[in-house]
Structures are given as C-alpha cells and as structure tokens.
Amino acid sequence: MSAASLGATAAAGPAPSAGTAAETLERAAAARPLVTTRRVGRLVVHAVEAGLQRLDGGAMFGVVPKPLWERKMPADPRNRIPLAMRCLLIEHDVGLVLVDTGLGAKEGGKFRDLYGVENASDAGGSTRLDDALAALGHRAEDVALVVNTHLHFDHAGGNTVREVDGAVRPAFPRARWVFPRGEYGYATHANERTQASYLAPNYVPLMEAGLVDEVEDGAEVVAGVRVLRTPGHTPHHQSVLVESDGEVLCFLGDLVPTTAHVPLPWIMGYDVEPLVTLESKRGVLARAEAEGWVLAFEHDPVVPFARVGRGEKGYEAIGL
C-alpha cells in the first residue's frame, strides 16, 4: 500500500451513512491486531500495538497545509488524528529486546483526555503492551533490554510503573535500558518549548538505579541490533536497525512517524530541529530504498511495516 493509497482508503471510505473519513480511520486503527510478526533473516520481530493517542493534525504535519494532510489522515472534530504507539519486540538469544514502551499507565485522567490516550489493558494487565506480551506467551521478566529512541512520554512512558504507594519502579524487572547519549541530559534540562514532552518518572528512576547505558551512533546493543542516530525530532534521537542474513529492518521512531510522513518535507511541527530532521530523513530513506529495508512506523494508525520507493513526487511508502 502506498502512502497515496493509504490516504485514499482512509479518506474515501464507505458511503457517507457509514460515518466520516475520520471515523473510518479510527475504525481501521482500532481494528489493528495486537501483534504483527515478521522475520528479519534469522530473527523474529513483532510490531506490538501499545495503544492509541490522538494529536493535533496540524502539529503532526508542521508546515504542510491541512487540505494536503487531511487527505491522508482525516482529523476528528477536535482536529486530532489517531496515532499508534507501536513498539518493536525482537526475540533474541539474550532474551526479549523491546524498542520503545508506549505511554504506560502512570498518567491521570486529565492527561489521558488531553492526548486522547487509549492504551488500557483488556486482559487484566495495566496496559495494552502487557496484553501483547502475554498474547505472545511472555512476561515482563522476559525483557532483557529496552532501547528507547528518545524519552518523550509516548515512547518511554511504559519504561516504569507506579506502585499504589506512589513509588516508581522499572516495568521490566530484569531489563537494562539503552538511551542515545545526550538525550537524558536534554530531557532533564528541558525548556519552555520542550518540557511538556518529558516526564521525569519515565527515566530518572532508571538512571538513578544504574540501569541505563547511554550509547553512541552505530552501537551494536546486542548481536544484530544497532542504533542509528537520526537527529532532528530531538537532537539525540535514534532509530534502530535489525540486521540478519542480509535483511534489514529499521524502526524509525519519530524520524518518520507515519507512512504519510515519508515525503521529505512532511515533517512534524513537534520537531525541535526540522531542517536536521530533513537531512536525517534524506540519508535514511536513500539507504532504505537502495538496500530494500523494511521500515517500521511507530505512529502510523494502520500500517506497521512498509518499504520506500520513489514516485513522481519523491519518496513514497510501498506496501509489503
């Protein structure tokens, strides 16, 4: 499915009596299976749906005018679009490797309403991420390593859980964490423009417990799993490459949050350095096209995986 055909699916929808284009997109997002599994060479990876959030469509598409973006991602009456909080789970010899952790369950009703969060467990856990792990036959104890692309609340919120007495502890009791070097300092020295995205309980208790390794660009965190610096959304943002037997999957994080963001100038208004994002995208998409990478989209409401090709107007997402 190309980005264009994704847009057509969402925007055209069925007859008007079945609801608006935004409602059609909401239904498609809600219908996503909890887990989508692929092989990357000898490794098995799962796209894990850790719930939905709803963010302002204008903020999601930066300088792109609404008449263009709403064809691909129709907005609800509050101008919000549904966004997945999709994690990548890699079955590895060392144990499970989890890339990003969704939003978690520490935030209250006002916060959850503001961001349209829908990630509660349907099966007695605390979040949908717990449900997905259970559906795969795993427990939180089976996660050996968590890699965070960056520390925004919708990517790192599930790192920790709050006990009834208010204490915050790691959500994965046997895991260590990998942050891109620099991101923790950036998160703990936020300013008026950046602070709303950074919530200390998501990462400070982990650092204070000595559970975090801060890594450089290109670090191989376990065999076949490598981080790739892709700055712009935040100055230290990293994507994650899974490589095995000549196959490559790239978990993009917020470099390219949805298939609609594949065209180079379609960059989020949230990005702190959008022109840096542009160059990060240019480099990654060129490699992805040339080497046939599978791309994993963290926030696309309906498409977990795609490849990238070049159409008349530049890069576009291609269905697998």
Note the residues at the interface with Zn ion (CB under 5 A).
Answer: 152, 254
Q: Give the residue with the Cβ less far from Zn ion, 21 or 52.
A: 52
Q: Give the residue with the Cβ less far from Zn ion, 32 or 236.
A: 236
If phi > 0 it is left, if psi is from -120 to 50 it is alpha, else beta; for residue 5 that is: alpha
Beta carbons of 250 and 295 less than 8 angstroms apart: yes
Query: Closest approach of Cβ 268 to Zn ion, in Å?
Result: 8
Q: Give the residue with the Cβ less far from Zn ion, 130 or 254.
A: 254
Query: Closest approach of Cβ 43 to Zn ion, in Å?
Result: 26
Q: Give the residue with the Cβ less far from Zn ion, 44 or 272.
A: 272
The count of C-alpha atoms lying within 13 angstroms of the C-alpha of 126, restricted to the half-sphere facing its C-beta, is 19
Query: Closest approach of Cβ 271 to Zn ion, in Å?
Result: 9
104-to-116, 117, 171 alpha-carbon distances in Å: 14, 10, 9
Query: Closest approach of Cβ 257 to Zn ion, in Å?
Result: 8
Q: Identify the CA nearest to 239 among candidates 296, 199, 171.
A: 296
Query: Closest approach of Cβ 42 to Zn ion, in Å?
Result: 31
Query: Closest approach of Cβ 152 to Zn ion, in Å?
Result: 3
Strands 143-147 and 176-180: parallel
Question: Rounded distance, CA 134 to CA 136, Å?
Answer: 5
Query: Closest approach of Cβ 120 to Zn ion, in Å?
Result: 22
Q: Give the residue with the Cβ less far from Zn ion, 72 or 152.
A: 152
3-state secondary structure at position 318: strand
Q: Give the residue with the Cβ less far from Zn ion, 244 or 280.
A: 280
What does the block give as tokens for 184? 């923790």
Query: Closest approach of Cβ 155 to Zn ion, in Å?
Result: 6
Query: Closest approach of Cβ 196 to Zn ion, in Å?
Result: 11
3-state secondary structure at position 86: strand
3-state secondary structure at position 314: strand
Q: Give the residue with the Cβ less far from Zn ion, 254 or 300.
A: 254
Amino acid (one-letter) located at 6: L
Q: Give the residue with the Cβ less far from Zn ion, 234 or 259.
A: 234
Q: Give the residue with the Cβ less far from Zn ion, 26 or 254.
A: 254
Q: What residues contact 25, with CB distance under 8 A and at least 6 apart?
A: 10, 73, 74, 81, 82, 301, 302
What string of DSSP letters covers 173-236?
A: TT-EEEEETTHHHHHHT--TTTGGG--GGGTHHHHHTT-EEEE-TT-EEETTEEEEE-TTSSTT
Q: Identify the CA nearest to 83 among candidates 99, 59, 64, 65.
A: 59
